[in-house]
Amino acid sequence: MFPLTFAEAAAVLGQHSTDQTRIEKVIIDSRQAAAGSLFFALQGSKTDGHHFVDAVLEAGGYAVVKRGWRQDRRIIAVDDPLAALQKLAQAHLAKIGIPVVAITGSNGKTTTKDFTAAVLGAKYKVSKTQGNYNNEIGLPLTIMSIEPWHEITVLEMGMRALGEIRHLTEIAPPQVAVITNVFPVHLELLGSVGNIAEAKAEILLGLKPGGSAVLNGDDSLVRRHACKAKHVLFYGTDTGNQLRAENIAVDSQGTVSYDLRWNDQAYRVELPVPGVHNVYNSLAAIGVGIQFGIPISIAIEALPQAELSGMRLEIEHSADGVMIINDAYNASPASMQAALTTMEQISGSRRRVAVLGDMYELGPISDLAHEEVGAFAAEVCDELVFVGKYAHLMYKGACSAGFSPSRIRIYAAVEQLLPELSQLVEKQDLVLVKASRVVALEQVVAALKER
């Protein structure tokens, strides 16, 4: 990480220390403790980090704890350890002084982050969010992991309620902000798609003076908030976008290609991942590259170098020829339809089997959304497997679309499905596996690969 001493960390958090030991790593998991680690004792829903402070100190580390816990020369006492983590990250990033690219959206932000890091990597040394570290805990941890050689950081910003992204931009004010799209997710807290758009648009309010926005111009809800940024680049397929994709094509292997239009120039783009929706993710990344002076041709060449996060339309194979589309990381109505469309486009002569699980955080539209996914799947698939507490609603939707009930199986949990999986999937099938993360359908992928 970027150089930081314990005394410097203590000073930021309002405590005096003369200890010049260099902090090697900031952690919230005591199992990672070692000499020079700085542990923040966070209060979780199941455990309290303060129970593990002694173990951290015994390993030679330091700790930030809630005031009143106990005094020790290797302990910084604060009112709120989480707020302290965020404050330290904010000060640390300001000290480092590298530009921030912030990415949010209902779908596609992780792939957009990966594409963006690859594009920027053609010219700069880039730090980026790892895994799902995109919230009030993960973002400051990502900042604290920035190394001295990094020149730009690409940060994914997630949210579940109004005000959360605004807070993240206070920790990490972006030079460039990206909004990929607005779809109905997190409705159980936000209540309406309009509120979701409002929450996503907070990223524009956090832009640094002179900063710019790269926005999905095909999304009317995103466009509605574009006035919150002074400098805007729109991307999409409509003619009103400065950065535009035309002549989109998908071959039998799922490879997506398109013509990119920019300033009356045309470029051919071939993506390293399946899914037409990834056209938008790649356009956003190229748009960010433009903000940092990266030529379009160089950005296009960089896209195949992207280190993409797993379980997002990841094509895998079993030993007996089953082709698996592993999209088990998360799910929403829009991403379900995108995955099913991709399945249809690349299936060829293979039998199409969809293993679909619950979508969470949909609030009042949850029942209808699951029925609609079932109906859409019925138009695409030969066999359907639904898993979770909403499986009966997807079943209802599929049947209402005229799909034969004899070709549908429903299971309350993935553990019930696994013993019967081999009977449902045949050699050479194409199997889509998709659900919200809590359903744990990655177990299905693992079982299929072990056939």
**pLDDT tens track for 18-70:** 999 999 999 999 999 999 999 999 998 889 999 999 999 999 999 999 999 98
**Co-location of 295 and 235 in the same domain:** yes
Q: Is 166 among the domain residues?
A: yes
- pLDDT of amino acid 132: 81
- Nearest of 208, 179, 211 to residue 196 by alpha carbon: 179
Q: Of 269, 288, 305, which marks where a domain is finished?
A: 305
The span from the CA of 424 to the CA of 409, in Å, is 9
- pLDDT of amino acid 134: 95
- pLDDT of amino acid 210: 96
**Co-location of 207 and 273 in the same domain:** yes
The residues with which 244 forms a beta bridge, in sequence order, are: 236, 261
212-216 and 176-179: which strand pairing?
A: parallel
**Co-location of 337 and 402 in the same domain:** yes
- pLDDT of amino acid 214: 98
**Co-location of 186 and 301 in the same domain:** yes
Calculate the alpha carbon distances from 361 to 185, 331, 364, 426 in Å.
Answer: 6, 10, 9, 33
Instruction: Kindly give the parts of the chain with pLDDT less than 50.
Output: none
**Co-location of 132 and 258 in the same domain:** yes
- pLDDT of amino acid 105: 97
Residue given tokens 């979508």 in the structure block:
359
Q: Is 84 among the domain residues?
A: no
The span from the CA of 110 to the CA of 131, in Å, is 8
- Whether the model clears a pTM of 0.85, i.e. scores above it, the answer is yes
**Co-location of 215 and 334 in the same domain:** no
The span from the CA of 441 to the CA of 339, in Å, is 15
- Sheet order of strands, 62-66 included: 25-27, 37-40, 62-66, 75-78
The span from the CA of 239 to the CA of 166, in Å, is 31
Q: Is 83 among the domain residues?
A: no
**Co-location of 263 and 172 in the same domain:** yes
Q: Is 285 among the domain residues?
A: yes
- pLDDT of amino acid 184: 83
- Nearest of 50, 184, 28 to residue 106 by alpha carbon: 184
- pLDDT of amino acid 212: 98
CATH of the domain at 390: 3.90.190.20
**pLDDT tens track for 374-432:** 999 999 999 999 999 999 999 999 999 999 999 999 999 999 999 999 999 999 999 99
**Co-location of 140 and 277 in the same domain:** yes
- pLDDT of amino acid 32: 97
Full residue range of the structural domain in which residue 211 is found:
98-305
**Co-location of 322 and 295 in the same domain:** no
CATH of the domain at 16: 3.40.1390.10
Contact 106, 183 (CB under 8 A): yes
- pLDDT of amino acid 52: 97
- pLDDT of amino acid 99: 98
Q: Of 281, 305, 329, which marks where a domain is finished?
A: 305
**Co-location of 281 and 327 in the same domain:** no
- pLDDT of amino acid 199: 96
Total domains, the chain: 3
CATH of the domain at 246: 3.40.1190.10
